[in-house]
């Protein structure tokens, strides 16, 4: 699938930068390798922000750049979310009047943090570029609708953005429209920030955090391995969030359904489905966002949610270990509440893309059992919503060898625009067209093409996304999409209907969440007969979503990607 038009040839772009990122390159006569740092430049930059003990800290970085938040108020609101058939509930004046609790299709919980503060300067994330380390230089890659990602400057050892590219190219690279002195690299979070004077105006910052949430004990230790469970008390007409900590079950929050304020009511999206995808409920479905209350065992201390009077328990935990959970692909999602994942910013997008809520990723999770890989994502809007003639694509990008030079780069390939700095060797995917679920399928990117996939003799190596280059010439290394049916493999193409029998997905009743079950053997074997993915494999994995915005009456596409989950071990 090529949804993007390349307007200038690579020859025209040669004056801006070299396409070969592994070599030295020159931009407008400035050699980026003129100064090879003797030390890691990240550590050099961090060393400029030392506290009184001589330790580099993020707090000092923020203070030195005038980003100290003088807190005016800090509120944490517990929120419950229920999805139900419209016929099973009545409401008015911001309250629910009647509800058949047994008919609830899905129940969820999250917290909303509302922070108000004053600050000398404000700092906004820059989504139109990223910083990466190459040859001990900190290179700034800029995103462009015409060129995808290309190097547009560097960060020097004084944390200045050096931009040798001429201003005339700013229209192709939105990041170049930002004044250089407003661009700041945060070496602690590895993010690019735009710093502007704030005149000490009051700023309100809202963030949502989904289960599993972080909770502390009274001495400030984060409690790990907590197991959360949402209960429906039909007699008391109450939703309850409990947490099991060691051998203790503690009520965290509750919501009295007939008394709580309705924050929002959302009409759910119901696509046409074929075999391979399920969604609970029938007819018109509504989602209600309700304000809850913390229990009397909970107190709020600065940014922490604290459990009072809890027994002393061990807080030791391996942060990279994901709790193994039994997942059922049923569209209910309560079995994902205790699986840790990665969070993505709400509203993050490259400026030339449409702000499509259906592609705005919020969460990505992964777990597995002996046979299947299980994947999960949450978006602001609805997965698969396209409008009558639109398209919607969901990708799980998997780097099986931690080598960015095998597979293709979702960040730099001439047919992609995802900020995912890994080599995409294989994929699990699904596709919607015209508000209809079309298929689930696999992708392989490596040496060879259809013949190798059909024979199951796969070899990792450099590849491209598309089978042809910008001049229409056929490539011999490109991504192949295939399905498995009745023990046979078939090549599939864009718009081709029919699912792979070893990939099943389920949408939540409101389609904001999706879960996928992928059989490990569906990723096939290498030329030596070894499975590409199996128990013990260590992978880097991320999710990307892209869609046309026909539903929103826009000709522009929307797209987003999750942060990469590095080093996930198939257990």
Summarised one tens digit per residue, pLDDT across range 373-392 is 999 999 999 999 999 989 99
3-class SS at 41?
Answer: helix
Q: Would you call the peptide bond into 256 cis, given omega within 30 degrees of 0 as the criterion?
A: no
- Establish if 323 belongs to a structural domain: no
Query: Which band of pLDDT confidence, cut at 50, 70 and 90, is reported for residue 8?
Result: very low
- Do 32 and 98 have their domain in common? no
14 has pLDDT over 70: no
278: Cβ–Cβ under 8 A, 6 or more apart, which residues? 329, 330, 331, 504, 505, 506, 507
Which of 341, 376, 386 has its CA nearest to residue 514?
376
d(C-alpha 48, C-alpha 52), whole Å = 12
pLDDT number for residue 6: 27
- Establish if 314 belongs to a structural domain: no
Q: Please check whether residue 168 is in contact with residue 69, taking contact to mean a CB–CB distance below 8 angstroms.
A: no
- Do 290 and 162 have their domain in common? no
User: What per-residue string of b and e applies to 96-121 under the rule 16 or more CB within 10 Å gives b?
Assistant: beebebeebbbbbbbbbeebebebeb
Residue 90, exposed/middle/buried by CB under 10 A (0-12, 13-18, 19+)? exposed
- Do 285 and 422 have their domain in common? no
- Do 97 and 136 have their domain in common? no
Q: Which of 112-116, 132-136, 169-173, 495-499 has the lowest mean pLDDT?
A: 169-173
Query: Which band of pLDDT confidence, cut at 50, 70 and 90, is reported for residue 225?
Result: confident
pLDDT number for residue 247: 81
- Cβ count near 474 (within 10 Å): 9
Helix, strand, coil percent values for the chain (each to nearest 5): 10, 45, 45
Of 463 and 414, the one with more pLDDT: 463
Query: Which band of pLDDT confidence, cut at 50, 70 and 90, is reported for residue 19?
Result: very low
18 has pLDDT over 50: no
Report how far apart, in Å, the C-alpha atoms of 495 and of each of 364, 439, 448, 546 are: 26, 9, 23, 15
Average pLDDT, the chain: 87
324 has pLDDT over 50: no
4 has pLDDT over 80: no
Total domains in the fold of the chain = 3
d(C-alpha 427, C-alpha 420), whole Å = 13
pLDDT number for residue 315: 39
- Do 283 and 152 have their domain in common? no
- Do 55 and 88 have their domain in common? no
Of 245 and 110, the one with more pLDDT: 110
Task: Write down the pTM of the prediction.
Answer: 0.88
Q: What is the pLDDT of residues 160-171, one digit of tens each?
A: 999 876 666 777
Residues 401-429 have a mean pLDDT of 85
pLDDT number for residue 17: 36
- Establish if 452 belongs to a structural domain: yes
Q: What is the pLDDT of residues 87-133, one digit of tens each?
A: 999 999 999 999 999 999 999 999 999 999 999 998 999 999 999 99
Query: Which band of pLDDT confidence, cut at 50, 70 and 90, is reported for residue 32?
Result: very low
The structure tokens listed for 413 are 């390939």
CATH number at residue 348: 2.60.40
22 has pLDDT over 80: no
- Do 262 and 406 have their domain in common? no
Residues 330-352 have a mean pLDDT of 94
Q: Please check whether residue 432 is in contact with residue 488, taking contact to mean a CB–CB distance below 8 angstroms.
A: no
Q: What is the pLDDT of residues 516-563, one digit of tens each?
A: 999 999 999 998 999 999 999 999 999 999 999 999 999 999 999 999
Residues 484-503 have a mean pLDDT of 92
327 has pLDDT over 60: yes
Half-sphere exposure of 5 (CA within 13 A, CB side): 2
d(C-alpha 117, C-alpha 99), whole Å = 39
Is the torsion defined by CA of 474, 476, 482, 322 positive or negative? negative
415 has pLDDT over 80: no
Domain encompassing residue 96? 71-118+205-307
- Do 252 and 390 have their domain in common? no
pLDDT number for residue 33: 40
- Do 170 and 52 have their domain in common? yes
- Do 238 and 255 have their domain in common? yes
- Do 478 and 365 have their domain in common? yes
21 has pLDDT over 60: no
Q: Please check whether residue 192 is in contact with residue 130, taking contact to mean a CB–CB distance below 8 angstroms.
A: yes
- 493: Cα separation from own chain's centroid: 26
d(C-alpha 173, C-alpha 398), whole Å = 28
User: What per-residue string of b and e applies to 34-61 under the rule 16 or more CB within 10 Å gives b?
Assistant: eeebeeebbebbbeebeeeeeebeeebb
- Do 125 and 111 have their domain in common? no
- Establish if 485 belongs to a structural domain: yes
- Establish if 325 belongs to a structural domain: no
- Establish if 322 belongs to a structural domain: no
* Residue finishing a domain among 164, 197, 230: 197
pLDDT number for residue 318: 33
Q: Please check whether residue 173 is in contact with residue 350, taking contact to mean a CB–CB distance below 8 angstroms.
A: no
Q: Which of 133-147, 402-416, 515-529 has the lowest mean pLDDT?
A: 402-416
d(C-alpha 559, C-alpha 379), whole Å = 11
pLDDT number for residue 447: 78
Q: What is the pLDDT of residues 446-480, one digit of tens each?
A: 876 688 898 888 999 998 888 888 788 888 888 99
Of 171 and 219, the one with more pLDDT: 219
30 has pLDDT over 60: no
């Amino acid at each position: 699938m090529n949804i993007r038009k390349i307007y200038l040839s690579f020859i025209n772009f040669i004056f801006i930068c070299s396409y070969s990122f592994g070599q030295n390159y020159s931009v407008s006569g400035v050699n980026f390798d003129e100064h090879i740092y003797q030390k890691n430049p990240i550590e050099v930059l961090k060393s400029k922000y030392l506290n009184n003990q001589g330790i580099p800290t993020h707090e000092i970085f923020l203070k030195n750049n005038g980003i100290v938040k003088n807190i005016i108020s800090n509120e944490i609101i517990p929120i419950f979310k229920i999805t139900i058939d419209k016929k099973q509930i009545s409401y008015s004046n911001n309250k629910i009047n009647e509800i058949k609790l047994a008919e609830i299709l899905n129940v969820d919980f999250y917290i909303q943090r509302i922070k108000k503060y004053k600050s000398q300067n404000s700092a906004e994330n820059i989504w139109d570029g990223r910083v990466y380390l190459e040859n001990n230089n900190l290179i700034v890659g800029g995103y462009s609708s015409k060129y995808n990602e290309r190097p547009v400057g560097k960060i020097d050892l004084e944390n200045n953005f050096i931009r040798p590219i001429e201003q005339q190219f700013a229209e192709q690279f939105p990041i170049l429209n930002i004044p250089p002195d407003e661009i700041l690299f945060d070496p602690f979070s590895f993010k690019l920030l735009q710093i502007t004077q704030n005149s000490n105006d009051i700023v309100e910052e809202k963030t949502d955090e989904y289960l599993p949430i972080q909770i502390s004990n009274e001495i400030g230790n984060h409690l790990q391995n907590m197991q959360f469970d949402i209960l429906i008390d039909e007699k008391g007409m109450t939703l309850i969030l409990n947490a099991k900590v060691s051998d203790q079950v503690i009520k965290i929050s509750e919501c009295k359904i007939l008394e709580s304020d309705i924050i929002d009511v959302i009409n759910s999206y119901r696509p046409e489905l074929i075999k391979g995808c399920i969604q609970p409920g029938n007819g018109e479905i509504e989602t209600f966002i309700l304000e809850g209350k913390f229990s009397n065992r909970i107190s709020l201390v600065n940014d922490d949610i604290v459990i009072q009077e809890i027994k002393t328990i061990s807080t030791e935990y391996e942060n990279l270990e994901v709790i193994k959970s039994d997942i059922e692909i049923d569209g209910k999602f309560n079995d994902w509440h205790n699986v840790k994942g990665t969070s993505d910013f709400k509203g993050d997008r490259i400026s030339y893309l449409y702000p499509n809520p259906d592609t705005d990723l919020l969460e990505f999770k992964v777990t597995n059992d002996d046979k299947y890989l299980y994947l999960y994502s949450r978006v602001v809007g609805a997965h698969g919503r396209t409008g009558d003639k639109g398209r919607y694509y969901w990708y799980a990008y998997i780097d099986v060898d931690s080598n960015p030079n095998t597979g293709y780069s979702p960040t730099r390939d001439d047919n992609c625009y995802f900020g995912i700095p890994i080599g995409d060797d294989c994929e699990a995917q699904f596709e919607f067209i015209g508000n209809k679920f079309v298929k689930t399928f696999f992708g392989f990117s490596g040496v060879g093409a259809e013949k190798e996939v059909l024979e199951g003799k796969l070899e990792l190596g450099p590849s491209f996304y598309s089978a042809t280059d910008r001049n229409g010439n056929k490539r011999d290394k490109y991504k192949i999409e295939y399905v498995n049916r009745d023990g046979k493999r078939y090549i599939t193409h864009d718009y081709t209907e029919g699912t792979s029998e070893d990939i099943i997905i389920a949408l939540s009743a409101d389609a904001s969440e999706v879960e996928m079950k992928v059989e490990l053997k569906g990723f096939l074997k290498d030329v030596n007969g070894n499975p590409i993915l199996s128990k013990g494999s260590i992978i880097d994995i991320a999710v990307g979503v892209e869609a046309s915005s026909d539903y929103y009456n826009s000709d522009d596409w929307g797209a987003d990607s999750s942060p990469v989950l590095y080093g996930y071990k198939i257990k």
